[in-house]
Structure 1
Amino acid sequence: MRKKVVIANWKMNQDFYETTSFLRNLLKIIFEINHKKEIIIAPSFPFLHISNQILQGSTLSIAAQNIHQMENGSYTGEVSASMLKSIGVQKVILGHSERRKHFSETNDILIKKIKTALKYKFIIIFCVGETEVERRKKEHFLSVKYQLEETIFHFSLENISSFIIAYEPIWAIGTGKTATPEVVQVMHQYIRSLFMDKYGKNISRKISILYGGSINDLNAKSLFYQKDIDGGLVGNSSLNIEKFMRIIQS
Protein backbone atom coordinates (compact mmCIF):
# COMPACT_ATOMS: atom_id res chain seq x y z
CA MET A 1 0.00 0.00 0.00
CA ARG A 2 1.47 3.37 -1.05
CA LYS A 3 1.49 6.24 1.41
CA LYS A 4 -1.06 8.97 0.83
CA VAL A 5 0.79 12.23 1.42
CA VAL A 6 -0.26 15.88 1.63
CA ILE A 7 2.51 18.48 1.90
CA ALA A 8 2.05 22.18 2.65
CA ASN A 9 4.83 24.14 0.94
CA TRP A 10 4.57 27.61 2.46
CA LYS A 11 7.46 29.03 0.41
CA MET A 12 8.37 32.57 1.61
CA ASN A 13 5.10 33.12 3.49
CA GLN A 14 3.84 33.10 7.09
CA ASP A 15 5.61 35.04 9.88
CA PHE A 16 6.24 33.66 13.39
CA TYR A 17 2.73 34.34 14.68
CA GLU A 18 1.01 33.06 11.52
CA THR A 19 3.11 29.88 11.54
CA THR A 20 2.62 29.00 15.19
CA SER A 21 -1.10 29.83 15.34
CA PHE A 22 -1.79 27.89 12.12
CA LEU A 23 -0.04 24.78 13.43
CA ARG A 24 -1.72 24.90 16.84
CA ASN A 25 -5.13 25.30 15.22
CA LEU A 26 -4.39 22.54 12.69
CA LEU A 27 -3.47 20.17 15.51
CA LYS A 28 -6.79 20.80 17.22
CA ILE A 29 -8.72 20.02 14.03
CA ILE A 30 -6.60 17.00 13.08
CA PHE A 31 -7.10 15.54 16.55
CA GLU A 32 -10.85 15.52 15.97
CA ILE A 33 -10.83 13.65 12.64
CA ASN A 34 -9.66 10.22 11.59
CA HIS A 35 -7.07 10.66 8.85
CA LYS A 36 -5.05 7.92 7.19
CA LYS A 37 -2.51 9.95 5.33
CA GLU A 38 0.85 11.56 6.03
CA ILE A 39 0.68 15.33 6.52
CA ILE A 40 3.89 17.33 6.17
CA ILE A 41 4.34 21.07 6.71
CA ALA A 42 7.24 22.96 5.10
CA PRO A 43 7.53 26.37 6.82
CA SER A 44 10.30 28.93 6.31
CA PHE A 45 13.73 28.23 7.80
CA PRO A 46 13.44 30.56 10.84
CA PHE A 47 10.37 28.69 12.09
CA LEU A 48 11.40 25.06 11.58
CA HIS A 49 12.51 24.61 15.18
CA ILE A 50 9.39 26.02 16.82
CA SER A 51 7.22 24.16 14.27
CA ASN A 52 8.89 20.89 15.17
CA GLN A 53 8.33 21.57 18.86
CA ILE A 54 4.63 22.34 18.31
CA LEU A 55 4.08 19.18 16.25
CA GLN A 56 6.11 16.88 18.50
CA GLY A 57 4.10 13.86 19.56
CA SER A 58 1.56 14.33 16.77
CA THR A 59 1.20 12.47 13.48
CA LEU A 60 2.23 15.61 11.56
CA SER A 61 5.83 16.30 10.60
CA ILE A 62 7.88 19.11 9.07
CA ALA A 63 10.14 19.45 6.05
CA ALA A 64 12.74 22.00 5.05
CA GLN A 65 12.25 23.73 1.71
CA ASN A 66 15.92 23.34 0.74
CA ILE A 67 19.41 22.41 1.95
CA HIS A 68 22.86 23.39 0.73
CA GLN A 69 24.86 20.73 -1.06
CA MET A 70 27.96 21.29 1.08
CA GLU A 71 28.06 20.04 4.65
CA ASN A 72 29.66 23.22 6.04
CA GLY A 73 31.90 26.12 5.02
CA SER A 74 31.93 29.73 3.86
CA TYR A 75 28.47 29.89 2.29
CA THR A 76 26.90 32.99 3.76
CA GLY A 77 23.17 32.72 4.26
CA GLU A 78 22.95 28.99 3.53
CA VAL A 79 21.66 26.17 5.73
CA SER A 80 23.30 22.74 6.01
CA ALA A 81 21.80 19.29 6.42
CA SER A 82 23.49 18.83 9.81
CA MET A 83 21.98 22.10 11.09
CA LEU A 84 18.51 20.90 10.13
CA LYS A 85 19.11 17.45 11.55
CA SER A 86 20.19 18.98 14.87
CA ILE A 87 16.73 20.55 15.32
CA GLY A 88 14.85 17.40 14.37
CA VAL A 89 14.14 18.02 10.67
CA GLN A 90 14.10 14.74 8.74
CA LYS A 91 12.52 15.68 5.41
CA VAL A 92 13.48 18.13 2.67
CA ILE A 93 12.04 19.40 -0.63
CA LEU A 94 14.58 19.33 -3.47
CA GLY A 95 14.36 20.17 -7.17
CA HIS A 96 11.46 22.60 -6.94
CA SER A 97 11.10 24.54 -10.19
CA GLU A 98 11.38 27.85 -8.32
CA ARG A 99 14.79 26.78 -7.01
CA ARG A 100 15.84 25.68 -10.48
CA LYS A 101 14.63 28.94 -12.06
CA HIS A 102 15.46 31.64 -9.50
CA PHE A 103 18.58 30.08 -7.96
CA SER A 104 20.02 28.32 -11.02
CA GLU A 105 19.94 24.85 -9.50
CA THR A 106 21.15 22.44 -12.16
CA ASN A 107 20.86 18.67 -12.19
CA ASP A 108 24.53 18.46 -11.14
CA ILE A 109 23.82 20.63 -8.09
CA LEU A 110 20.75 18.56 -7.28
CA ILE A 111 22.76 15.33 -7.39
CA LYS A 112 25.11 16.82 -4.78
CA LYS A 113 22.16 17.92 -2.65
CA ILE A 114 20.61 14.46 -2.87
CA LYS A 115 23.91 12.85 -1.82
CA THR A 116 24.12 15.14 1.20
CA ALA A 117 20.48 14.57 2.11
CA LEU A 118 20.88 10.79 1.85
CA LYS A 119 24.03 10.89 3.98
CA TYR A 120 22.01 12.55 6.75
CA LYS A 121 19.12 10.10 6.19
CA PHE A 122 16.55 12.65 5.02
CA ILE A 123 13.31 11.73 3.29
CA ILE A 124 13.52 13.66 0.01
CA ILE A 125 10.48 15.18 -1.68
CA PHE A 126 11.85 15.51 -5.21
CA CYS A 127 10.12 17.69 -7.80
CA VAL A 128 9.99 17.22 -11.56
CA GLY A 129 7.91 18.89 -14.25
CA GLU A 130 7.83 20.41 -17.70
CA THR A 131 7.48 23.97 -18.95
CA GLU A 132 4.53 25.20 -21.00
CA VAL A 133 6.72 25.30 -24.12
CA GLU A 134 7.77 21.66 -23.60
CA ARG A 135 4.14 20.64 -23.13
CA ARG A 136 3.13 22.53 -26.30
CA LYS A 137 5.91 20.86 -28.28
CA LYS A 138 4.84 17.46 -26.87
CA GLU A 139 8.22 17.11 -25.17
CA HIS A 140 6.79 16.85 -21.64
CA PHE A 141 7.48 13.12 -21.26
CA LEU A 142 11.06 13.54 -22.48
CA SER A 143 11.60 16.47 -20.12
CA VAL A 144 10.43 14.61 -17.03
CA LYS A 145 12.35 11.47 -18.01
CA TYR A 146 15.53 13.51 -18.47
CA GLN A 147 15.12 15.18 -15.06
CA LEU A 148 14.84 11.77 -13.38
CA GLU A 149 17.63 10.16 -15.38
CA GLU A 150 20.00 13.02 -14.58
CA THR A 151 19.26 13.03 -10.82
CA ILE A 152 17.45 10.29 -8.89
CA PHE A 153 18.27 7.50 -11.34
CA HIS A 154 21.96 7.96 -10.50
CA PHE A 155 21.22 6.37 -7.13
CA SER A 156 20.99 2.72 -6.17
CA LEU A 157 17.92 0.66 -5.35
CA GLU A 158 18.51 0.87 -1.58
CA ASN A 159 18.25 4.69 -1.69
CA ILE A 160 14.90 4.87 -3.50
CA SER A 161 12.80 4.25 -0.40
CA SER A 162 14.00 7.69 0.78
CA PHE A 163 12.14 9.49 -2.03
CA ILE A 164 8.68 10.93 -2.53
CA ILE A 165 8.14 12.27 -6.06
CA ALA A 166 6.17 15.44 -6.76
CA TYR A 167 5.11 16.08 -10.35
CA GLU A 168 4.61 19.82 -10.77
CA PRO A 169 4.05 21.08 -14.30
CA ILE A 170 5.86 24.42 -14.18
CA TRP A 171 3.14 26.15 -16.21
CA ALA A 172 0.60 25.35 -13.47
CA ILE A 173 2.52 26.55 -10.40
CA GLY A 174 1.01 29.67 -8.88
CA THR A 175 -0.75 30.49 -12.14
CA GLY A 176 -4.21 29.18 -11.30
CA LYS A 177 -3.92 26.84 -14.29
CA THR A 178 -4.37 23.19 -13.42
CA ALA A 179 -3.93 20.17 -15.63
CA THR A 180 -7.04 18.02 -15.82
CA PRO A 181 -7.06 14.94 -13.56
CA GLU A 182 -6.81 12.73 -16.64
CA VAL A 183 -3.74 14.59 -17.96
CA VAL A 184 -2.06 14.39 -14.53
CA GLN A 185 -2.89 10.67 -14.26
CA VAL A 186 -1.21 9.98 -17.60
CA MET A 187 2.01 11.66 -16.43
CA HIS A 188 1.93 9.95 -13.03
CA GLN A 189 1.44 6.60 -14.71
CA TYR A 190 4.37 7.38 -17.01
CA ILE A 191 6.61 8.35 -14.07
CA ARG A 192 5.67 5.13 -12.28
CA SER A 193 6.56 3.15 -15.43
CA LEU A 194 10.01 4.80 -15.47
CA PHE A 195 10.61 3.63 -11.90
CA MET A 196 9.45 0.14 -12.87
CA ASP A 197 11.86 0.04 -15.82
CA LYS A 198 14.74 1.27 -13.65
CA TYR A 199 14.11 -0.37 -10.27
CA GLY A 200 11.41 -3.02 -10.78
CA LYS A 201 7.71 -3.51 -10.13
CA ASN A 202 7.97 -3.56 -6.32
CA ILE A 203 9.51 -0.08 -6.15
CA SER A 204 7.12 1.36 -8.73
CA ARG A 205 4.15 0.14 -6.68
CA LYS A 206 5.50 1.54 -3.42
CA ILE A 207 6.79 4.98 -4.41
CA SER A 208 4.38 7.86 -3.69
CA ILE A 209 3.90 10.31 -6.56
CA LEU A 210 2.22 13.60 -5.63
CA TYR A 211 0.75 16.33 -7.81
CA GLY A 212 1.91 19.90 -7.31
CA GLY A 213 0.33 22.24 -9.83
CA SER A 214 -2.13 24.79 -8.38
CA ILE A 215 -3.94 22.13 -6.36
CA ASN A 216 -6.81 23.53 -4.29
CA ASP A 217 -9.84 22.52 -2.25
CA LEU A 218 -12.04 22.50 -5.36
CA ASN A 219 -9.97 20.23 -7.62
CA ALA A 220 -8.25 18.02 -4.99
CA LYS A 221 -10.91 15.32 -4.83
CA SER A 222 -11.00 14.72 -8.59
CA LEU A 223 -7.19 14.61 -8.71
CA PHE A 224 -6.82 12.25 -5.74
CA TYR A 225 -9.43 9.93 -7.27
CA GLN A 226 -6.93 9.00 -10.00
CA LYS A 227 -5.14 5.67 -9.60
CA ASP A 228 -1.54 6.94 -9.64
CA ILE A 229 -1.95 10.27 -7.81
CA ASP A 230 -0.98 9.65 -4.18
CA GLY A 231 -1.52 13.14 -2.76
CA GLY A 232 -0.44 16.71 -3.26
CA LEU A 233 2.36 19.22 -2.81
CA VAL A 234 0.18 22.21 -2.00
CA GLY A 235 1.27 25.85 -2.32
CA ASN A 236 -1.11 28.81 -1.91
CA SER A 237 -4.09 26.74 -0.75
CA SER A 238 -2.08 25.40 2.20
CA LEU A 239 -1.86 28.93 3.67
CA ASN A 240 -5.58 28.88 4.46
CA ILE A 241 -6.42 26.36 7.17
CA GLU A 242 -10.00 25.75 6.01
CA LYS A 243 -8.92 25.13 2.40
CA PHE A 244 -6.00 22.98 3.51
CA MET A 245 -8.27 20.84 5.70
CA ARG A 246 -10.65 20.30 2.79
CA ILE A 247 -7.69 19.14 0.67
CA ILE A 248 -6.60 16.74 3.43
CA GLN A 249 -10.13 15.36 3.73
CA SER A 250 -10.28 14.89 -0.06
Structure 2
Amino acid sequence: MSRTMVAGNWKMNTSPAEGARLIQEVMEKVGTPATRVVFGVPALQLMQAQELVAGHTNYAIAAQNMHQETSGAYTGEISAGMLSEVGIEYVILGHSERRDYAGEDDDLINLKIQRALEAGLRPIYCCGEKLDIREAGNQELVVGKQVEQALYSLDPEQIEKIVIAYEPVWAIGTGRTASKEQAQDMHAYIRRMIANQFGADVAQNLTILYGGSVKPNNAVELFSQPDVDGGLVGGASLDAENFAAIVNAIGG
Protein backbone atom coordinates (compact mmCIF):
# COMPACT_ATOMS: atom_id res chain seq x y z
CA MET A 1 0.00 0.00 0.00
CA SER A 2 1.28 3.48 -0.87
CA ARG A 3 2.36 5.56 2.12
CA THR A 4 1.81 8.85 0.24
CA MET A 5 -0.74 11.49 1.26
CA VAL A 6 -1.62 15.14 0.70
CA ALA A 7 -3.70 16.65 3.50
CA GLY A 8 -5.14 20.16 3.64
CA ASN A 9 -5.54 21.99 6.93
CA TRP A 10 -8.13 24.70 6.37
CA LYS A 11 -7.82 26.05 9.93
CA MET A 12 -10.58 28.59 10.76
CA ASN A 13 -11.43 29.36 7.15
CA THR A 14 -14.39 28.88 4.79
CA SER A 15 -18.12 28.96 5.44
CA PRO A 16 -20.00 25.67 5.00
CA ALA A 17 -21.06 26.74 1.50
CA GLU A 18 -17.50 27.73 0.58
CA GLY A 19 -16.13 24.50 2.02
CA ALA A 20 -18.54 22.35 0.03
CA ARG A 21 -17.60 24.16 -3.19
CA LEU A 22 -13.90 23.79 -2.43
CA ILE A 23 -14.12 20.02 -1.91
CA GLN A 24 -16.22 19.57 -5.05
CA GLU A 25 -13.84 21.69 -7.14
CA VAL A 26 -10.78 19.78 -5.93
CA MET A 27 -12.38 16.43 -6.69
CA GLU A 28 -13.41 17.65 -10.15
CA LYS A 29 -9.87 18.84 -10.93
CA VAL A 30 -8.09 15.77 -9.52
CA GLY A 31 -10.52 12.98 -10.32
CA THR A 32 -9.39 9.71 -8.74
CA PRO A 33 -6.06 10.64 -7.12
CA ALA A 34 -2.94 8.49 -7.14
CA THR A 35 -2.42 9.38 -3.48
CA ARG A 36 -4.56 9.70 -0.37
CA VAL A 37 -6.22 13.15 -0.20
CA VAL A 38 -7.46 14.42 3.16
CA PHE A 39 -9.46 17.59 3.85
CA GLY A 40 -8.97 18.98 7.37
CA VAL A 41 -12.11 21.06 7.72
CA PRO A 42 -13.60 23.23 10.51
CA ALA A 43 -15.71 21.27 13.00
CA LEU A 44 -18.98 22.74 11.75
CA GLN A 45 -18.34 21.21 8.32
CA LEU A 46 -17.23 17.70 9.31
CA MET A 47 -20.47 15.84 8.60
CA GLN A 48 -21.14 17.76 5.39
CA ALA A 49 -17.60 17.09 4.17
CA GLN A 50 -17.81 13.41 5.02
CA GLU A 51 -20.96 13.09 2.94
CA LEU A 52 -19.24 14.78 -0.02
CA VAL A 53 -16.27 12.37 -0.09
CA ALA A 54 -18.15 9.18 0.85
CA GLY A 55 -17.74 6.59 -1.88
CA HIS A 56 -14.92 8.46 -3.64
CA THR A 57 -11.67 6.51 -3.82
CA ASN A 58 -8.70 7.93 -1.89
CA TYR A 59 -10.55 10.89 -0.33
CA ALA A 60 -11.06 11.30 3.42
CA ILE A 61 -11.86 13.92 6.07
CA ALA A 62 -9.85 15.01 9.10
CA ALA A 63 -10.92 16.90 12.19
CA GLN A 64 -8.54 19.67 13.22
CA ASN A 65 -8.63 18.80 16.92
CA MET A 66 -10.45 16.74 19.57
CA HIS A 67 -10.65 16.56 23.35
CA GLN A 68 -8.68 14.04 25.35
CA GLU A 69 -11.64 12.83 27.41
CA THR A 70 -14.34 10.52 26.11
CA SER A 71 -17.22 12.62 27.50
CA GLY A 72 -18.04 15.11 30.24
CA ALA A 73 -18.60 18.75 31.09
CA TYR A 74 -16.26 20.19 28.46
CA THR A 75 -18.26 22.94 26.81
CA GLY A 76 -17.47 23.42 23.14
CA GLU A 77 -15.35 20.29 22.82
CA ILE A 78 -15.67 17.22 20.56
CA SER A 79 -14.65 13.69 21.53
CA ALA A 80 -12.93 11.05 19.43
CA GLY A 81 -15.98 8.84 19.66
CA MET A 82 -18.21 11.55 18.21
CA LEU A 83 -15.86 11.95 15.25
CA SER A 84 -15.62 8.24 14.64
CA GLU A 85 -19.38 7.70 14.76
CA VAL A 86 -19.98 10.09 11.85
CA GLY A 87 -17.29 8.46 9.72
CA ILE A 88 -14.34 10.81 10.21
CA GLU A 89 -11.11 8.92 9.57
CA TYR A 90 -8.32 11.29 10.64
CA VAL A 91 -7.65 13.91 13.30
CA ILE A 92 -4.83 16.48 13.31
CA LEU A 93 -3.08 16.57 16.69
CA GLY A 94 -0.09 18.52 17.99
CA HIS A 95 -0.21 21.36 15.48
CA SER A 96 2.07 24.23 16.45
CA GLU A 97 -0.92 26.57 16.72
CA ARG A 98 -2.52 24.29 19.30
CA ARG A 99 0.78 24.17 21.17
CA ASP A 100 1.20 27.95 21.10
CA TYR A 101 -2.37 29.20 21.50
CA ALA A 102 -3.85 26.45 23.69
CA GLY A 103 -0.72 25.47 25.62
CA GLU A 104 -0.80 21.84 24.53
CA ASP A 105 2.32 19.79 25.27
CA ASP A 106 3.32 16.31 24.16
CA ASP A 107 2.02 14.63 27.30
CA LEU A 108 -1.45 15.96 26.53
CA ILE A 109 -1.04 15.19 22.85
CA ASN A 110 -0.01 11.62 23.73
CA LEU A 111 -3.26 11.22 25.65
CA LYS A 112 -5.24 12.61 22.72
CA ILE A 113 -3.49 10.20 20.38
CA GLN A 114 -4.38 7.27 22.60
CA ARG A 115 -8.04 8.36 22.76
CA ALA A 116 -8.12 8.80 18.98
CA LEU A 117 -6.72 5.32 18.40
CA GLU A 118 -9.16 3.78 20.86
CA ALA A 119 -12.01 5.30 18.85
CA GLY A 120 -10.64 4.02 15.54
CA LEU A 121 -9.33 7.37 14.30
CA ARG A 122 -5.97 7.84 12.60
CA PRO A 123 -3.97 10.72 14.15
CA ILE A 124 -1.92 13.07 11.98
CA TYR A 125 0.71 14.01 14.57
CA CYS A 126 2.48 17.33 14.00
CA CYS A 127 5.98 18.12 15.24
CA GLY A 128 8.56 20.75 14.39
CA GLU A 129 11.01 23.34 15.65
CA LYS A 130 10.96 27.13 15.90
CA LEU A 131 13.43 29.37 14.10
CA ASP A 132 15.79 29.94 17.04
CA ILE A 133 16.09 26.19 17.52
CA ARG A 134 16.91 25.69 13.83
CA GLU A 135 19.48 28.50 13.86
CA ALA A 136 21.16 26.96 16.93
CA GLY A 137 21.35 23.59 15.18
CA ASN A 138 19.17 21.87 17.79
CA GLN A 139 16.30 20.85 15.53
CA GLU A 140 16.86 17.10 15.88
CA LEU A 141 17.04 17.37 19.67
CA VAL A 142 13.73 19.22 19.86
CA VAL A 143 11.84 17.21 17.26
CA GLY A 144 13.23 13.98 18.65
CA LYS A 145 11.94 14.86 22.11
CA GLN A 146 8.50 15.68 20.67
CA VAL A 147 8.31 12.34 18.85
CA GLU A 148 9.53 10.39 21.87
CA GLN A 149 7.10 11.99 24.32
CA ALA A 150 4.09 11.76 22.04
CA LEU A 151 4.60 8.37 20.40
CA TYR A 152 7.03 6.08 22.22
CA SER A 153 4.40 4.84 24.69
CA LEU A 154 2.43 3.30 21.82
CA ASP A 155 2.88 -0.21 20.51
CA PRO A 156 3.90 -1.12 16.93
CA GLU A 157 0.32 -1.89 15.89
CA GLN A 158 -0.75 1.58 17.02
CA ILE A 159 2.17 3.32 15.32
CA GLU A 160 1.11 1.75 12.03
CA LYS A 161 -2.06 3.89 12.23
CA ILE A 162 -0.15 7.15 12.81
CA VAL A 163 0.75 9.75 10.22
CA ILE A 164 3.57 12.12 11.23
CA ALA A 165 3.70 15.65 9.83
CA TYR A 166 7.01 17.47 10.20
CA GLU A 167 6.21 21.19 10.23
CA PRO A 168 9.11 23.55 10.87
CA VAL A 169 7.32 26.34 12.72
CA TRP A 170 9.48 28.95 11.02
CA ALA A 171 8.01 27.90 7.66
CA ILE A 172 4.30 27.86 8.56
CA GLY A 173 2.47 30.76 6.97
CA THR A 174 5.69 32.73 6.50
CA GLY A 175 6.34 32.00 2.85
CA ARG A 176 9.64 30.39 3.86
CA THR A 177 10.05 26.73 3.05
CA ALA A 178 12.60 24.21 4.21
CA SER A 179 14.94 23.24 1.40
CA LYS A 180 14.48 19.77 -0.03
CA GLU A 181 17.67 18.76 1.80
CA GLN A 182 16.43 20.13 5.15
CA ALA A 183 13.10 18.35 4.73
CA GLN A 184 14.71 15.08 3.71
CA ASP A 185 17.22 15.17 6.56
CA MET A 186 14.53 15.63 9.21
CA HIS A 187 12.17 13.07 7.68
CA ALA A 188 14.97 10.53 7.56
CA TYR A 189 15.83 11.30 11.18
CA ILE A 190 12.21 10.77 12.27
CA ARG A 191 12.03 7.51 10.34
CA ARG A 192 15.22 6.31 12.03
CA MET A 193 13.72 7.14 15.43
CA ILE A 194 10.64 5.07 14.62
CA ALA A 195 12.81 2.22 13.31
CA ASN A 196 14.92 2.19 16.48
CA GLN A 197 11.84 2.05 18.72
CA PHE A 198 9.35 0.00 16.69
CA GLY A 199 11.34 -1.82 14.03
CA ALA A 200 12.44 -1.24 10.45
CA ASP A 201 9.27 -2.65 8.87
CA VAL A 202 7.03 -0.27 10.81
CA ALA A 203 9.26 2.68 9.95
CA GLN A 204 9.39 1.78 6.27
CA ASN A 205 5.60 1.85 6.00
CA LEU A 206 5.14 5.02 8.05
CA THR A 207 3.75 8.08 6.29
CA ILE A 208 5.74 11.23 7.07
CA LEU A 209 4.44 14.48 5.60
CA TYR A 210 6.14 17.84 5.19
CA GLY A 211 4.22 20.96 6.22
CA GLY A 212 5.35 24.53 5.87
CA SER A 213 4.41 26.76 2.93
CA VAL A 214 3.91 23.88 0.49
CA LYS A 215 2.88 25.33 -2.89
CA PRO A 216 2.54 24.05 -6.46
CA ASN A 217 5.95 25.50 -7.35
CA ASN A 218 7.85 23.56 -4.66
CA ALA A 219 5.72 20.44 -4.21
CA VAL A 220 7.43 18.29 -6.83
CA GLU A 221 10.88 19.08 -5.44
CA LEU A 222 9.83 18.33 -1.86
CA PHE A 223 7.84 15.21 -2.68
CA SER A 224 10.68 13.76 -4.75
CA GLN A 225 12.75 13.21 -1.60
CA PRO A 226 12.85 9.54 -0.55
CA ASP A 227 11.52 10.07 2.98
CA VAL A 228 9.01 12.85 2.19
CA ASP A 229 5.71 11.07 1.58
CA GLY A 230 3.55 14.10 0.85
CA GLY A 231 2.41 17.27 2.54
CA LEU A 232 0.20 18.82 5.18
CA VAL A 233 -0.84 21.96 3.32
CA GLY A 234 -2.14 25.16 4.89
CA GLY A 235 -2.94 28.26 2.85
CA ALA A 236 -2.61 26.60 -0.55
CA SER A 237 -5.29 24.06 0.41
CA LEU A 238 -7.88 26.87 0.36
CA ASP A 239 -7.53 27.32 -3.40
CA ALA A 240 -8.86 24.42 -5.48
CA GLU A 241 -6.45 24.92 -8.37
CA ASN A 242 -3.39 25.18 -6.13
CA PHE A 243 -4.37 22.23 -3.94
CA ALA A 244 -5.17 20.06 -6.96
CA ALA A 245 -1.77 20.89 -8.43
CA ILE A 246 -0.09 19.85 -5.17
CA VAL A 247 -2.05 16.59 -5.11
CA ASN A 248 -1.06 15.91 -8.72
CA ALA A 249 2.60 16.59 -7.90
CA ILE A 250 2.85 13.28 -6.08
CA GLY A 251 2.69 9.79 -7.48
CA GLY A 252 0.91 6.94 -5.73
CA contact (8 A) 1:215 1:237 kept: yes
**Which aligned pairs between 1:189-228 and structure 2 lie closer than 5 A?**
189-228=188-227
CA contact (8 A) 1:95 1:110 kept: yes
Deviates most, 82-91 or 123-132: 82-91
The answer to whether 1:236 aligns with 2:235 is yes
Q: 1:46 is matched with which residue?
A: 44
**Cα deviation, residue 2, structure 1:** 4.1
The answer to whether 1:157 aligns with 2:156 is yes
Q: 1:86 is matched with which residue?
A: 85
Secondary structure of the corresponding residue to residue 154 of structure 1: coil
Secondary structure of the corresponding residue to residue 160 of structure 2: helix
Q: Structure 1: which 4+ aligned runs deviate by more than 4 Å?
A: none
Q: 2:53 is matched with which residue?
A: 55
**Cα deviation, residue 118, structure 1:** 1.0
TM-score for the superposition, normalised by structure 2: 0.96
Secondary structure of the corresponding residue to residue 116 of structure 1: helix
**Which aligned pairs between 1:1-250 and structure 2 lie closer than 5 A?**
2-31=2-31, 35-59=33-57, 60-250=59-249
| Structure 1 portions without partners, runs of 5+ | none
Higher relative CO (Cα under 8 Å, sequence separation at least 6) belongs to 2
Secondary structure of the corresponding residue to residue 63 of structure 1: strand
Distance 1:155 1:24 in 2: 37
**Cα deviation, residue 22, structure 1:** 1.1
Secondary structure of the corresponding residue to residue 140 of structure 2: helix
| Structure 2 portions without partners, runs of 5+ | none
What letter matches 2:30 in structure 1?
I
What letter matches 1:184 in structure 2?
A
**Cα deviation, residue 16, structure 1:** 1.1
**Cα deviation, residue 196, structure 1:** 1.0
TM-score for the superposition, normalised by structure 1: 0.97
Distance 1:48 1:35 in 2: 21
Alpha carbons of structure 1 residues 28 and 2: separation in structure 2 relative to 1, 3 Å: closer
Percent of aligned pairs with the same amino acid:
40
RMSD, aligned α-carbons: 1.0
Per-residue deviation, residues 91-145 of structure 1 (Å, max 9, x unmatched)? 1010111001000001121111011101101111001101111111111000011
Distance 2:28 2:206 in 1: 30
**Cα deviation, residue 7, structure 1:** 0.1
Distance 1:223 1:9 in 2: 18
Distance 2:100 2:213 in 1: 18
